[in-house]
Amino acid sequence: MSTDNSRTNKPCIVVTGATGYFGGYFVEALAQDYHVLAMARNLEKLEAMQQRLGDNVTPVCCDLSDLEQARTSMRYIMREYNVVGLVNNAFPLGKATGFNTPDGALDKITTDMMLNAFSAGAVAPMVLIQEFGNALMERKATGKIVNISSMYASVSPDPVLYEGKTTFNPVSYGMTKAALEYLTKYVASFWGAKGIRCNAIAPGPFPNVEFDSENATRDNQFLDRLRAKNCNHEVGHPTQLLGALRLLLSDDAEFINGEVIRVDGGWTVR
């Protein structure tokens, strides 16, 4: 990772999972107002993002499954940049955590899949939050944390959605996101008085229909099932998360702390 000290005076936001489906939209939107430290595993994708978005983006190549690497990277960032916000967005949506593989079914999911999910999706955010908060408190500064949760932190997937399909959402995902929401409340409770706010966004059905990945879908029948189940008979697009994200990172949300904003089209109301 390289730094340019001329950028460090500008308020910076760290976004994890920066090259993913949500992350790409988050980085592009936030780069309009902040310097974004885009954290992801794939350096080639990060460099392409920087080339496309310009000098308001700095690539941070880091594999959050390596917790020591995560801690070292965040500690360096906090030392070198004027970081005011952290967006914990990363989650490995693939076979390593039980997605879309027979081995991830409830009766077969392995302990390794569960541990991979918790390590990257809950423990790594905790590590980054520790480094973020400790650095801010040491210099008596304030900051904002936004954790990206899911509707499946509070409700279970409907088995009907997956009838006749080889794709499904494993138990590892919802359990991890529920832990992330608890972490959100805990951080808000203990660090709110220190000027560090922590909130979460819980997206509803936001299927990846744009980019190739282990979790992308082109299954129109499955998409129709998602639409039919939701209150407004639609699925979401990442741009519909940006309003909540901007709000929670702004001073307009200074009295919002420990909250989970559900952006799900009404999925969880029934």
* Residue with token string 């960032």: 77
pLDDT digits (tens, 9 = 90+) for 59-87: 999 999 999 999 999 999 999 999 999 99
Token duo for residue 170: 């494993």
**CATH number for the domain running over 5-269:** 3.40.50.720
pLDDT digits (tens, 9 = 90+) for 12-60: 999 999 999 999 999 999 999 999 999 999 999 999 999 999 999 999 9
HSE of 13, CA atoms in CB hemisphere, 13 A? 29
CB 253 within 8 A of CB 218: no
User: Three-class SS of residue 10?
Assistant: coil
CB 248 within 8 A of CB 144: yes
pLDDT digits (tens, 9 = 90+) for 187-205: 999 999 999 999 999 999 9
What predicted TM-score, i.e. pTM, was given to this entire model?
Answer: 0.95
Q: Any idea what DSSP says for residue 250? A: S
Q: E strand or H helix at 36, and its extent?
A: strand 35-40
pLDDT digits (tens, 9 = 90+) for 220-269: 999 999 999 999 999 999 999 999 999 999 999 999 999 999 999 999 99
Q: Where are the domains of the chain?
A: 5-269
Q: How far apart are CA 194 and CA 180, in angstroms?
A: 21
Q: How far apart are CA 92 and CA 71, in angstroms?
A: 18
CB 136 within 8 A of CB 82: no
CB 36 within 8 A of CB 10: no
